[in-house]
Structure 1
Amino acid sequence: MSNPVHSPLDVPPQPLSPHSPLFDGYHPVEPGPAFTDADGGLIYPDDSLPSKPYAIEGTIIPHAELPQGTTLDRFGYPGGEWLSPEGTPFAERALPPGSAVKPYFEYVVADPARLPPGWRIEQSNVAPWFNQPGGGVQYRIIAPDGIDPSVTELLESGYLKAKGG
């Protein structure tokens, strides 16, 4: 009998307190016209460009190998493809202010061999964006063409598990 995979969405965590040490050095600044489109939507770095504007030039490691037990975290639900090492300050992630009030999830690399075939983890340092300095380490989940990568997929494959789960 197999154990069912439980999603962190079964009991979503709360956002972090604004007094969390992860917010030390963070100064919320509205994105402004440089980071919003005509309809007011946020403009994120285009991750399809060869220049990889989401990363500081020269910091990209295309095939990062995260050892078992590595602790990662994320502001926002596991449908996304970005993670950071646990404890990376919010300002170093260069996220928009609205992300600060999203649920905060923590994960552990459970079994590196369970990364789905053709998938990889790209490591880089965060480029400044949304009026934040960036500079922190980030991990991008990359899947073969035609597949939408996500933390959820890595939880289901057994590569990741929810911290404490």
Structure 2
Amino acid sequence: MLLFAAVLWGVPVKVRSFATAVVTAVLVAVAAPPPAAAAVSGPCRAGTPPAAEPTDEFYADRGELGPEQLPSEEPAGSLMTGYRRFGGMSKETFTDRYRAAGGWVHPPEDGFLILRGVAVRYQQTLVEGMRVDRFGYPSGRYLAPVDTLYLQRALPPERLNTPVGAPQGNYHVYCVLRAFTVEAGPIAPWFGQPGLGLQYRLDDRFLPAAGDRVSVGWLVDHGYLVEEDPAR
């Protein structure tokens, strides 16, 4: 608590309320009980979510800007609450800020919130029966507590595209079959979004058997996670 209080020492009054809100969000994220204690835990039910119609119309005819129509079907549809594609910026300002050399400019420190130059990240064990999710293929290293809003994840709009054979928004829910440790912490604001949701980053320090191959897919293949059909 003293560390976070020091963050606000000497901050001008005009911005102190915003800073206080950020620090409060961080304290809640760090101090909250593991999500496995919530209603999103219980016996795992293996399943495959049904494929949706693939995205064939993109915003401004640019695939990196996401689908022309944002996901509206459940379960991804309800996670769009409050989401604005460019976070209130113009398309030009957004792309100037977050695109470079044909790719996305990602946040530093693996996307964890930074306070006074230090990333807020800590070890957490995901226990059996806990539900987690992600937008994207299982080749990635990031998960979040199930039902985290999209704007809290601070992801680019491209991640909402639906590839062939994937559920809408390429949204996937997983259940923990075998406990494992991740790097956890609040998400930095980025891509015009407020972030401050909780993210779980897979790290080969905690899964040495995976080495640099660690990914959500590796966890599925080795019995740590199982995909579920959230509609069941």
What TM-score bracket applies, with the shorter chain setting the length? 0.7 to 0.9
Answer yes or no: is 1:147 the counterpart of 2:212.
yes
Distance 2:49 2:149 in 1: 24
Q: Amino acid of the residue matched to residue 136 of structure 1? A: G
TM-score normalised by L of structure 2 = 0.56
Match of 2:24 in 1: none
Distance 2:120 2:151 in 1: 18
Answer yes or no: is 1:130 the counterpart of 2:197.
no
61, 64, 78: which one aligns with 1:21: 78
Distance 2:152 2:219 in 1: 24
Match of 1:111 in 2: 178
Per the alignment, do residues 11 and 23 of structure 1 end up closer, same or farther by CA in structure 2, a change over 3 Å counting?
closer
Distance 2:195 2:71 in 1: 21
After TM superposition, the runs of 4+ consecutive aligned structure 1 residues lying more than 6 A away are none
Compare CA radii of gyration and give the structure with the larger one.
2
Per the alignment, do residues 160 and 21 of structure 1 end up closer, same or farther by CA in structure 2, a change over 3 Å counting?
same
- Deviation, 1:12, is 6.8
Answer yes or no: is 1:81 the counterpart of 2:141.
yes
Match of 2:111 in 1: 54
TM-score normalised by L of structure 1 = 0.76
- Deviation, 1:83, is 0.5
Match of 1:33 in 2: 96
The aligned length equals 145
- Deviation, 1:13, is 4.2
Q: Amino acid of the residue matched to residue 18 of structure 1? A: S
- Deviation, 1:148, is 2.9
Is the 1:53–1:127 contact (alpha carbons within 8 Å) kept by the matching residues of 2? no
Distance 1:76 1:65 in 2: 22
Distance 1:36 1:17 in 2: 23
Distance 1:143 1:128 in 2: 25
Question: Aligned with 2:201: secondary structure?
Answer: strand
- Give ranges in structure 2 of 5+ residues lacking alignment: 1-46, 55-69, 162-168
Per the alignment, do residues 67 and 53 of structure 1 end up closer, same or farther by CA in structure 2, a change over 3 Å counting?
closer
Distance 2:103 2:150 in 1: 21
Deviations 1:22-74 (A, max 9, x none): 0001000154222111x33111124xxxxx2511136311x211111110011
Per the alignment, do residues 36 and 164 of structure 1 end up closer, same or farther by CA in structure 2, a change over 3 Å counting?
closer
Supply the RMSD in Å over aligned alpha carbons: 2.7
More helix by share: 2
Match of 1:49 in 2: none
